[in-house]
Copies of this chain bind each other. A is one copy, B any other.
Amino acid sequence: MSTQPDASLQAEVNRLRLQLESLQAKDGSEPITVGNYLLARLEQLKVTKLFGLPGDFNLGFLDLVEDHPKIEWVGNCNELNAAYAADGYARVKEHSIGVILTTFGVGELSAINGIAGAFSEMVPVLHIVGVPSTRQQKAKALLHHTLGDGRYDAYIKAAENFTVSQAILTEANAAAAEIDRVLTDCITRARPAYLTLPTNLVFEKISSERLKIPLSRLPPPNDPETEAFVLDEIVKLVEEAEDDVVILVDACAIRHDVRAEVNDLIKKTGYPVYSAPMGKTAVSEKYERYGGIYVGSISHPDIKEKVESAKLILSIGCLKSDFNTGNFTYSIPLSRTIEFHSDHTKVQFAGFPGIGMSELLPLVTARLRPCSEAARKIPVPDFTAVVPNEADDVISQAWFWPTMGTFFKPQDVIIAETGTSSFGILDVPLPDKSVFVSQILWGSIGWTVGSTLGAALAARDIGLNRTILFIGDGSLQLTVQELSVMLRHGLKPIIFVLNNSGYTIERFLHGKHRKYNDISNWKWTALLGVLGDEEGTLSQSYTVRNKDELSALLKDESFARAEKMQLVEVMMPKLDAPRALVQQAELSGKTNAYVAI
């Protein structure tokens, strides 16, 4: 319904836009839509997959995604699984990020547990939310997906708790700078960022000039004077330790991308290396000076003794959460510890904020001497997993994990769900250049189905070997539908479903015989046929009920070649758990203090 004043206003708007566009064009760069600017930045960050679901406020942007020559839309079954997948993708695809696209309110809130987990475990994920037009937002229109009381900031407020950086786009001319800002925060701080994209901005034209300068991953530089001081202190302590030094690698060695620097350090010095659970595979577990997993009082006695008796511990990227430390049972005095972190360093009791390890580690490596021949001869515990000789035919936890150890190959991606899997796998040395994926701090059961999808896509991108998932029956029920998306994308993971009738990790924490720890029994081996493999040609499923059956399957070459998607239901006893889980659960159970003292 056009009126005289409206028409002339509209004409004015059109004229101003043309003026603006021509001025922008004068900088010589091609104008680009806001949506494509964002995709261009993602492409620069080596993103090839975008996770999420369509929803009416993101469909316009989805057109651009679908038409993009390099970035593929994954199309998940639900938003929580999509966030899990973006997380898994980012963990495997180094120097890239995970990206999830959801819709205003209903989509983004469904994903928020996945974003929080990525925040917690320091995984760079960008959460793009398609939101109503700026006009609708200003009017606080009572749209579907709103809370019915006019609030348009509630989802942003929720998101702020779980992201390092947020950009709420309102104008095209600020969009590029805002996009760059949150992406930079995301990659330098290795935590999730949040970006809202209103429908009316997606196709607005802006300058592409900024794209010529790639985003920087570099953290802020260390203050030189402080750094020099810290370096001297470190070298002094190392020398005082007279080669009785141990290196302990943990989560942030991986998450903050200093594996190369760490490897230089250990190669030069020759010090023994151990790993916390969250640092597993930061260093090759086949390295001859690598001694295995240190996890406080529940470590193998050899490892515990070697680590805790060292005169000095170089702790790289530690994250001392309960499950990562045997319930806080590190017995390592601060006086014998130097901690390296992405944004600070601790030398015994002194803290040095702003001195980050990516700069510091190479300087340390340069200053330290290789350890003496004598020191190099001191044996490191032999980190192997011996398959126990058990009389019966039952697939016990104690037999299963070392046996799986014989199956893994270099460059495999090995994913372990929170539960018997994440604890059982700890004692198994993984092959060279393999990638270990687990969520030991956040611990959201079911996470690994989505993260396996993302990890497998990334693994295919960068030419890794097989993707192998271990998940309990209880956990699989939370997120099962994402198996369908794996089939649709032609992925070929091997999924071991540990069928032991329930939430085993919960049983060991509390309520071992309680009904609330039971679950429905599903036909696990029929799942893939129902969730997309209609003809039965894309996948293969198996049940193994005893040691012989599992051994035979693992030796089967076509199984090992993983030429289809494969699901293996492993029948295991209900009340059996890996040693590490039993011990951890006992400790955690005590601190939960259910019984009033």
Contact = CB atoms under 8 A, between A and B. Distances in A.
Interface of A: 10, 13, 53-57, 59-60, 62-63, 65-66, 73, 75, 77-78, 80, 105-106, 109-110, 112-113, 116-117, 119-122, 132-133, 135-136, 141-148, 151, 154-155, 157-158, 161-162, 199-200, 202-205, 319-323, 328, 418, 440-446, 477-481, 484-485, 487-488, 503, 505-506, 509-511, 514-523, 526-527, 529-532, 534, 588, 591-597
B532 A530 contact: no
Nearest to A479: B78
Given A110-B113, A157-B161, A592 B56 contact: yes
Contacts of A534: 521, 523
Contacts of A145: 442-444
Given A516-B75, A593-B200, A594-B199, A162 B141 contact: no
Contacts of A133: 591-593
Contacts of A593: 133, 135, 199-200
Contacts of A199: 592-594
A521 B484 CA distance: 9
Given A57-B592, A63-B514, A591-B133, A322 B148 contact: no
Most buried by B among A320, A485, A506: A506
A503 B518 CA distance: 34
Nearest to A144: B443
A505 B55 CA distance: 9
A179 to B, nearest CB: 18
A84 to B, nearest CB: 11
Given A120-B147, A444-B110, A596-B200, A484 B488 contact: no
Contacts of A144: 321-323, 418, 440-443
A146 B73 CA distance: 31
Interface SS of chain A: loop
Contacts of A588: 56
A136 B53 CA distance: 38
A537 to B, nearest CB: 14
Most-contacted residue by chain B among A65, A199, A588 (CB, 10 A): A199
A594 B113 contact: no
B514 A443 contact: no
B106 A113 contact: yes
12 contacts: A59-B509, A59-B594, A66-B515, A77-B478, A106-B113, A110-B444, A132-B592, A133-B591, A142-B322, A144-B418, A202-B594, A521-B534
B485 A520 contact: yes
Contacts of A146: 120, 321, 441
A319 to B, nearest CB: 6
Contact of A529 (B157, B158, B161, B526): B526
Given A54-B506, A157-B161, 18 more contacts: A54-B517, A55-B506, A56-B505, A59-B506, A73-B515, A106-B445, A110-B444, A133-B593, A136-B591, A141-B328, A142-B441, A144-B321, A144-B440, A144-B441, A145-B442, A145-B444, A151-B161, A199-B593
